[in-house]
Amino acid sequence: MIKKIITSLSLGKKGVNKVLGDLETEIMDIVWSSGACSVRDVYENIRLRRKIAYTTVMTIMSRLAKKGLLKQTRRDAAYIYAPVMSREQFASGFVGQVVEDLMSDFSTPLLSHIIEQAADDPEKLQELSELINRKLAEKS
């Protein structure tokens, strides 16, 4: 499912903004905080900070549902949206997908870079070593 959501990666951005647009991220932050909410709830929240059209929020929430990030349930005359996964699950999923894609095409440079990055921090290097040893023990 994550593969369907990730269509591009913006390396200069932070957090989930690397894979979601600014407005998508803002909407997901609201829905992740609320648990479940209507388009009106999200619109009113964003409107406190900036000018935005109700229909823009509705369109983006509908797209997020089509991408599989939001679940859409009809209640009376409105839809209620809820996150399909937590922010942590989403982040873990997109990191996993990116690493999987990089490993399939660039395994040696990727692993080399990870080790070089960890080498600057003894704690990270120890953590990496422990992870490798744990995986080796599982495979034995």
The pLDDT value recorded for residue 122 is 87
The pLDDT value recorded for residue 26 is 96
Bridge partners of residue 72, in order along the sequence: 81
Residue 16 is given by DSSP the state G
DSSP 22-54: HHHHHHHHHHHHHSSEEHHHHHHHHHTTS---H
What 3-state DSSP class applies to 13?
A: coil
The pLDDT value recorded for residue 4 is 61
Residues lower than pLDDT 70 in the chain:
1-8
Report CA dihedral (112, 16, 1, 42) to the nearest 10 degrees: 180
**Alpha helix stretches (DSSP H) within 68-86:** none
The pLDDT value recorded for residue 63 is 93
Q: What is the pLDDT of residues 20-58, one digit of tens each?
A: 889 999 999 999 999 999 999 999 999 999 999 999 999
